[in-house]
Structure 1
Amino acid sequence: MNDLLIAFILGIVEGLAEFLPISSTGHLILVGHLLGFEDERSKTFEIVIQLGAILAISILYRKRLVSLFNIKPILKKEKKFNAIHIILGVFPAVIAGLLLHDVIKNYLFRPNTVVIGLVAGAILMIIAEKKKLKPASYSLDDLTYRQALTIGLFQCLSVYPGFSRAGATISGGLLARASYKTASEFSFLIAIPIMIGATGLDLLKSWNYLSTSDIPMFAVGFVTSFVVAMLAVVTFLRILEKLGLTPFAYYRMVLAIVFTIFVLL
């Protein structure tokens, strides 16, 4: 298949899946397997298109990101979303990622392990939906430090490919009594430092696999991921408020079953 077409398809997959609770890493591995795009270059390509998704969320939430540099609410102990929330939401996953990075990359980035992650993440999402309590936080400014840390701890589950960072954090948010909107927006925001750190580390390690001849392919994937992610985030928030996590959980299970039957068996 033409490289540019592969880039376009995978850019769409990344843009749609990165901030939805369906696992972008899992989908990229599965779709890459189906397209026969699984060499070292593919790993570098996935890193580049993730940067497109990061840029999309950074633009959509630029005002919130800028406000994090204001330390007055912290000094005055105001009930306002601030940088400490981000630190608490990011720190646990950073530690888990650093400790397990090589093991994950070397042993878990395979279609069969992704299928396990898809099912496990779906079960957590259904549990979070069923046990959902009345929200105590209806906006980011209502979010407590304890809730931020709880969501951060749930984010550690996403180091397993296929589990889904968004699925883990939004589920954790619901169990911590945050509303759908609050849990989702916090999930988007803590994704930025996590993804920048992870993609930056991977990009440094994969630098030798980059070639000037790959620039058109990488550019198509990056731009496609950016545009699709912008549209996906806005649409997802509307769907989540109406339908909850359950449809996404069932989709994950169906995908795991179909892929197991037609590809792995």
Structure 2
Amino acid sequence: MPVLLLVIILGIVEGVTEYLPVSSTGHLILATELLGYKADQWALFNVAIQPGAILAIIVLYWRTFVDVLVGLWQRRPSAFAFVRNLAVAFIPAVVLGLALGDDIELLLGNAVVVAWALIVGGVAILIIERLAKTTDKGGVQNVTLMHSIGIGLVQCLAMVPGVSRSGATILGAMSMGVDRKTAAEFSFFLAVPTLTGATALQLYKHGSTMQPGMGGWILLGSLVSFVVAVVVVKAFVSIIQRYGFAPFAWYRIIAGAVALVWLAAR
């Protein structure tokens, strides 16, 4: 398969899966393997195209970000609470990412780990959907400090490929009583510093080993992921408010099982 086509496909996969509770990293690993390439050789690319998905959130929620900036200037408590919640939720990922970065990278090419994580995560989603009792928080700024810390700790589970950062944060928030919409938006906004930090760290550590021409592929992959993510995020909130997370849970279970069979047979 031509590299150009691979780049476009991986950009689409990133844009579709980054904010859905199905694991973007896991799908990128499986897609790379399925298309005949070695996942570990494309691990840097798969992380480096995340800015496209980050930009999608900034564009879609630009009014929210502007309101927060204006609120900080005007010293509004709600704006400070918004920033505080995201900051404390972001810190655990920074600490563990720096402490366990090398160990985490060893898992980034392991498709078997991804397949099992998809299945286990799907089952967890079904359980939490059934048992969680949530109340409308009315926005990220109204989530408590302790719940924000808890969401940040749960996000660290996504360092295992296949777990899903968005799935961990959304379902973690719901298990603490946060409503679906607020949980999803918390996950979206938390992705901005988290994905930015992960991308910067990987480029700093491995940028010098980048293959010739990879910079251009990264720009193209980021552009594709941006366009696709804009469409997907718009639809996602409507879907979860109407149908919940069960469709994504069953998809994870089926995809993980199929991946295990394929990996065992190849």
Q: Could you state the TM-score of these two structures normalised by the residue count of structure 1?
A: 0.91
Amino acid at match of 2:17: A
Q: CA deviation at 1:191?
A: 0.8
Matches within 5 A, 1:14-163: 14-38=14-38, 41-69=41-69, 70-71=71-72, 77=77, 81-107=81-107, 109-163=109-163
Alignment partner, residue 253 of structure 2: 253
Structure 2: distance between partners of 1:78 and 1:72: 12
- How many residues are treated as equivalent by the alignment? 264
Quote the Cα distance in structure 1 between the aligned partners of 2:167 and 2:264.
24
Counterpart of 1:9, as a letter, is I
AA matched with 1:91 = I
Cα gap change, 1:196 to 1:34, in 2 (>3 Å): same
**Partner residue in 1 for 2:195:** 195
User: Residue 180 of structure 1 corresponds to which residue in structure 2?
Assistant: 180
- Structure 1, residues 4-55: CA drift from partner, whole Å, max 9, x if none? 1111111110000001000000000000001122266512221232111111
Q: Conserved in 2, the CA contact under 8 Å of 1:117 and 1:161?
A: yes
How far is 1:79 from its partner? 8.5
Distance change in 2, residues 1:47/1:255 (3 Å): same
Do the aligned residues in 2 keep the contact of 1:138 with 1:178 (CA within 8 Å)?
A: no
For residues 208 and 106 of structure 1, the distance between their equivalents in structure 2, rounded to whole angstroms, comes to 19
What are structure 1's unaligned runs of at least 5 residues? none
Deviation at 1:192, TM superposition (A): 0.8
Residues 160, 41 of structure 1: alpha-carbon distance in 2 compared, 3 angstrom cutoff: closer
- Measure the CA separation in 2 of the matches of 1:61 and 1:219: 22
Query: CA, structure 1 residues 95+67, in 2 after alignment: closer, same or farther (shift >3 Å)?
Result: farther
Which range moved further: 215-224 or 8-17?
215-224
Partner of 2:137: helix, strand, or coil?
coil
Deviations 1:210-264 (Å, cap 9, x if unpaired)?
Answer: 3553344333312111100111101111111111111101100100110111223
Q: Which amino acid aligns with 1:180?
A: R
Letter paired with 1:210: M
CA RMSD of aligned residues (A): 2.1
Query: 2:205 — aligned with what?
Result: 205
- 2 CA distance for matches of 1:144 and 1:55? 27
TM-score (norm 2): 0.91
Q: Which runs of 5+ in 2 are unaligned?
A: none
Q: How far apart, CA to CA, are the structure 1 residues paired with 2:173 and 2:58?
A: 21
254-263 or 43-52, which deviates more:
43-52
> Does the 8 Å CA contact 1:125/1:168 hold for their aligned counterparts?
no
Which amino acid is 1:226 matched to?
Answer: F
Distance 2:39 2:244 in 1: 37
Shift of 1:96: 2.0
In 2 relative to 1, CA 107–41 (structure 1 residues): closer, same or farther, beyond 3 Å?
Answer: closer
Q: What's the CA shift for 1:81?
A: 4.5
Work out the CA distance in 1 between the residues paired with 2:67 and 2:44.
Answer: 32
